[in-house]
Amino acid sequence: MKEKPFTIKHVLDIASLSPDQITYILDTAESFKEISTRSIKKVPTLRGKTVINLFFEPSTRTRASFEIAAKRLSADTLSISASTSSVVKGETLIDTARNLEAMQPDVIVLRHSLSGAPHLLSRHVRASVINAGDGTHEHPTQALLDLLTVREKKGKIKGLKLAIMGDITHSRVAHSNILGFTKMGANVVVSGPATMIPPYIEKLGAKVTLSIKEAVQGADVIMALRIQLERQNKLSFPSIREYATYFGLNTQHLALAAPDAIVMHPGPINRGVEISPELADGPHSVILDQVTNGVAVRMALLYLLLGSETRMSHGDTKKDEKNPPSPPFTKGGHPLSPPLKKGDTGGFSGESQ
C-alpha cells in the first residue's frame, strides 16, 4: 500500500495510455459494474469530492453517463453547458476554468468542439481533467467503454478484426478506437467515402480500404459511425440518400462478417443512414451494452483519479481502510495492485504541471 497504484493526473487521450494502463482501467470498470445492478446504486467512495461536467457541446449520453458515474460514487456533481455558461458572454475557456478552479473541484470533465481544449485546460487547473470528447481529436472514455464491451462479449481483444465504417475524418470516436484497439492487439480496418478518410490514418494503426465489403469481411466487430452533419462542409458527399445507399451498413454486410460478430455504434444514431434499423436493433447489436459500460468505465476513471489518491496521499488512512471502495474485487485480485512499471507515469500527462 506504500506505492502509488496509478499515477494518473489527467485522462486526455488514448494515445498516451499504455496497454497495461488500459487493462487496469477495464479491470477496475468491470468490478464497478455490479454497483449499478444493486437496488441502492451508491457507494461512498468519493464522498466529499466534486466533479464538474463542463460541456461546451451538446451531449446526452456522455454527460448523463459521467453524472451518474459520479453520483453512484457519492461525489457532488455540477453540470455546466455552453448555453448556460459565461462563454456566451465572451469568457475564455481558461477564465471559465480558473473561476471554477477557485471553487476547488477535484475533477473537471470537459467536452469541447475544438481539438486540444482539454490539454489547454489541464495546463491551467490543479484539478484532474477528463476529456469527454474534443473536436475531431479523441474521445478516450468512449474507446474505453467500447474496449470493455468487446472484451466482455468476446472474452478478448487481441487478434480480433474491428471494422470502423463511415466518417473517419471527423470522428474522435474512430481516432480513439483505432489507437485503443490497436494497442490492445486488435486489427483495425477503416472504410468509408474517400473524402472522409484523413491522410496518414494508417499511422494511427488502421488499415484503409475503400471497399465496404472487404472491410466487414470476417470482422468480429463492426462499428458504425454517425455522419456528423454539423461538421461537414457539404463537399464530402452528395446527399444523405446516396450515403445511405453506398455506405450505410445493413444486414448484407453483417452476413459477410464473422458469424458471431457484434455491431456497435457510439450514438446518437441516424437510423437508416449509417446503419439500418434491423442492424441497430438486431441480435448482434451491443449498442445499449456500450451505454451501460460507459457508466462503469467512467466510475472507474473517477475512482482511479480520486479514490485511490485519497487513500494514498491523505494521512487519514485508518478511516480509509475501514471504508474501502465498495465494489467486490472478484477477478484478478485487488485493482489497487499496481500494473505500472516503476517510473512509468504512463502517458497520462504528468502529475505536476
Partner 1 sequence: MNLYLKGARIVDPSNLTGEAPVLPGFRSSPVLFKTNVPCDIYIRNGKIASIAPQGKEPIPADARVIDLAGKIVTPGLIDMHTHLREPGEEYKETIATGCLAAVSGGFTAIACMPNTKPVNDNKSITEYILRKAQEARLATVYPIGAISKGLQGETLAEFGDMRSVGIAAVTDDGRPVMNGELMRRALEYARNFDLPVISHCEDLTLYSGGVMNEGSVSTQLGLPGIPAVAEEVMVFREIRLAALTASSVHIAHVSTRGSVDLIRQAKASGINVTAETAPHYFSLTEEAVTGYDTNAKMNPPLRTAEDVAAIIEGLKDGTIDAIASDHAPHSILEKEVEFNMAANGIVGLETALPLTLKLVHTGHLSLSEAVAKLSTNPSRILRLEIPSIQIGQRADLTIIDPDRKFIVDIHKFQSRSKNSPFHGWELKGKAVMTIINGRIVFNDLD
Q: Rule CB under 8 A: which residues touch partner 1?
A: 15, 92-94, 112, 114-117, 119-120, 134-138, 172, 175, 198-201, 203-204, 233, 235
Residue with smaller CB distance to partner 1, 155 or 199: 199
Residue with smaller CB distance to partner 1, 90 or 333: 90
Question: If you ran DSSP here, which 8-state letter would residue 260 be given?
Answer: T
Residue with smaller CB distance to partner 1, 199 or 259: 199
Distance CA 64, CA 71 (A): 10
Enumerate residues 6+ apart whose C-beta is below 8 A from 78. Answer: 50, 51, 52, 53, 105
Q: How far is the CB of 120 from partner 1 (least distance, A)?
A: 6
Q: How far is the CB of 95 from partner 1 (least distance, A)?
A: 10
Distance CA 311, CA 255 (A): 50
Residue with smaller CB distance to partner 1, 137 or 154: 137
Q: How far is the CB of 205 from partner 1 (least distance, A)?
A: 11
Q: Are 220 and 258 in contact (CB under 8 A)?
A: yes
Question: If you ran DSSP here, which 8-state letter would residue 350 be given?
Answer: P
CA distances from 340 to 24, 42, 182, 185 (A): 9, 29, 20, 19
Residue with smaller CB distance to partner 1, 272 or 350: 350
Distance CA 155, CA 335 (A): 19
Residue with smaller CB distance to partner 1, 68 or 94: 94
Q: How far is the CB of 200 from partner 1 (least distance, A)?
A: 4
Q: How far is the CB of 132 from partner 1 (least distance, A)?
A: 14
Residue with smaller CB distance to partner 1, 204 or 297: 204
Q: Are 350 and 17 in contact (CB under 8 A)?
A: no
Q: How far is the CB of 14 from partner 1 (least distance, A)?
A: 11
Q: How far is the CB of 185 from partner 1 (least distance, A)?
A: 20
Of 273, 277, 221, the closest CA to residue 247 belongs to 273
Distance CA 107, CA 121 (A): 12
Distance CA 15, CA 273 (A): 30
Q: For 142, phi and psi rounded to 5 degrees?
A: -65, -45
Distance CA 271, CA 47 (A): 40
